[in-house]
């Protein structure tokens, strides 16, 4: 559902051509909009904003890019609360990650689902990425983590 990894192309290539200050301001507006969508429980719109932010934020970039990367991580955690509520009572959950690269967000979800009163659902994660090696790495990590939390998973 959500991914912070770069996709096959930026959804907003024109933003990279902006001056640094303007790009920073644009990032702030995107972060505020995403936070509003998360607060309203609108995961789809938050995900769209996160996709834009993921192409601009960087923990190794300038100050605004680093701040955006930090806040994006926090927004993902908030989006997990909304996702968990939507999955309440489900026995099987199928997730499609269109830009599979980093398993960290799914590892957090696996941990949270393992703590449910009724136990974790069977989780199916379908990852899509242009490099097979990235998918294999992600699958390996997710399977290892799922075993730690005793989550049934198919990757």
SS3 of 113, please? helix
What's the average model confidence in pLDDT over 95-104? Answer: 74
> 3-state SS string over 33-89?
HHHHHHHCCCHHHHHHHHHHHHCCCCCCCCHHHHHHHHHHHHHHHHHHHHHHHHHCC
Structure tokens at 76: 């993902």
- Of 12-21, 28-37, 57-66, 115-124, the range with the lowest mean pLDDT is 12-21
pTM of the model: 0.56
For residue 3, name the pLDDT band (cuts at 50, 70, 90). Answer: very low
User: Bigger pLDDT: 118 or 6?
Assistant: 118
pLDDT at 2: 38
What's the average model confidence in pLDDT over 91-113? Answer: 80
Residue 111 predicted with pLDDT over 80 = yes
Residue 10 predicted with pLDDT over 60 = no
pLDDT at 35: 82
Please choose, from the candidates 28, 35, 134, the residue with its C-alpha nearest in 3D space to the C-alpha of residue 76: 35
CB contact at 8 A, 137 and 94: no
């Amino acid at each position: 559902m959500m991914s912070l990894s770069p996709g096959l192309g930026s959804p907003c290539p024109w933003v990279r051509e902006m001056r640094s200050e303007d790009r920073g301001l644009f990032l702030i507006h995107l972060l505020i909009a995403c936070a509003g969508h998360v607060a309203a429980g609108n995961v789809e719109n938050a995900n769209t904003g996160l996709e834009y932010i993921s192409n601009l934020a960087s923990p190794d970039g300038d100050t605004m890019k680093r701040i955006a990367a930090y806040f994006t991580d926090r927004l993902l955690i908030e989006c997990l609360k909304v996702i968990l509520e939507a999955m309440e009572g489900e026995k099987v959950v199928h997730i499609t990650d269109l830009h599979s690269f980093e398993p960290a967000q799914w590892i957090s979800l696996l941990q949270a689902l393992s703590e449910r009163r009724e136990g974790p659902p069977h989780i199916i994660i379908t990852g899509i990425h242009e490099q097979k090696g990235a998918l294999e790495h992600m699958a390996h990590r997710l399977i290892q983590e799922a075993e730690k939390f005793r989550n049934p998973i198919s990757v």
